[in-house]
Amino acid sequence: MQTSDFIQALPKAEMHLHIEGAVPWDMVQAQARLLPSPPPWWATDYRFDSFRHFADTIRQCYESTLTSIDSYYSAARGVFKSLADQNVRYVELSFSLGHALSRNLPLTEIVDAIRQAAPADLTARVFCGVSRSRPHVLRNKVIEAILNPPELDGVDLHGDENSQGPAPFVDLFAQARQRGLATKAHAGELAGPQSMQDTIDILQLTRVEHGVRAIEDEGLMSRLITQAITLDMCPTSNIKLRVVENIAAHPIRQFHQRGVRITVSTDNPTILGCSLTDELHLLVERFGFSLRDLAQLQSNAFRVALMPAAKRAGILAELDGVLARPVDLWRN
């Protein structure tokens, strides 16, 4: 069996995805006609100068496209089609609170539009993404608006860790948990392990987006293992945003070998020029992951996915079936 065939056959989960950075390229081109095609950021050796440079770039792709409820539906439909074509069965898709408020779009309608865009064979979970740099918007009325949509599945804290610690978001996360919503946060990406420790402790997390900087602290690494904290990692994102010096310096293989529960996702695929399939090929070709390792990463993801137990069991059984194919079909 070729690696590409195995990866396609593998039931997959996309655990870390922003709709603003995943708007289908044809939608972007229709509104942002001055952008070159293909854009320079898709090049393998491209590096953003800073997080601000990255944020300014991504804004060019969503500011003129995500302007209405219908546009969220269209974008989500395109995102979900791409995922379904890759045999992705589960996705956690976040939308930016800040952008929604700037457009005066009702959060409930955004959530509904995204959910309605999902095909029947793809389990889609919707998260409201709250920016670290904008805690001032979290007035009681806004918190209630965030937590009000009955179809919302969770809350995610994103943005530059260096702009704001997690403390201003404690009430939001506590109320979200009280209402049965999932919570996760970006940490251990643009700031070091202490920022990640604080975010886990203060927001009481078992899911962290990125977390790559934990490798700098042995105590934190041990904690991730003993407390079964899941890291939703995005290698291409970390490389292009200079979180790591180069591809060889990315420690994802060390996390996996040490027994940290990790998953792999794309983060912002339209900006980064990658797909989930690309990320899995990268793990094999540049990080020495075996096909069995890839299956383990998907098992990690489905075990923490927000899905009915019976559906989870069915997908895990399917993963076992893929792994049970004759050994001579394996590449390694």
pLDDT in tens, 180-228: 999 999 999 999 999 999 999 999 999 999 999 999 999 999 999 999 9
Q: The CATH number of the domain where 178 resides is what?
A: 3.20.20.140
* SS3 label, residue 209: strand
Q: In this structure, what token pair is assigned to residue 95?
A: 């939308």
* DSSP state letter for 1: -
CA-CA-CA-CA torsion sign (115, 118, 120, 124): negative
pLDDT at 93: 99
pLDDT at 332: 45
**pTM of the shown model:** 0.95
Which residue numbers are catalytic? 189
In a domain, 226, yes or no: no
pLDDT, tens digit, 9 for 90 and up, residues 251-291: 999 999 999 999 999 999 999 999 999 999 999 999 999 99
Calpha distance 84→13 (Å, rounded): 10
Calpha distance 249→212 (Å, rounded): 11
Domain total of the chain: 1
In a domain, 250, yes or no: no
In a domain, 233, yes or no: no
In a domain, 98, yes or no: yes
In a domain, 103, yes or no: yes
| Residues in a beta bridge with 202 | none
pLDDT at 191: 95
The range of the structural domain enclosing residue 104 comes to: 3-185+263-322
> Going by C-beta distance under 8 Å and a sequence separation of 6 or more, which residues neighbour residue 62?
19, 20, 21, 23, 96, 99
In a domain, 311, yes or no: yes
Calpha distance 209→184 (Å, rounded): 7
Q: Torsion-angle region of residue 228: left (phi > 0), alpha (psi -120 to 50) or beta?
A: left
pLDDT at 327: 47
* CA-based R_g, the chain, Å: 19
Where the chain has pLDDT below 50, the residues are: 327, 330-332
In a domain, 175, yes or no: yes
Task: Give the count of beta carbons closer than 10 Å to the beta carbon of residue 74.
Answer: 18
> Going by C-beta distance under 8 Å and a sequence separation of 6 or more, which residues neighbour residue 79?
17, 19, 22, 23, 24, 91, 93, 117
pLDDT at 324: 78
pLDDT at 83: 98
How many C-alpha atoms does 309 have within 13 Å on its Cβ side?
A: 0
pLDDT at 31: 86
Q: In this structure, what token pair is assigned to residue 313?
A: 């069991």
In a domain, 331, yes or no: no
> Length of the chain in residues, anyone?
332
Of 8, 18, 60, the C-alpha closest to 37 is 60
pLDDT at 36: 85
Of 192, 196, 174, 171, the C-alpha closest to 183 is 174
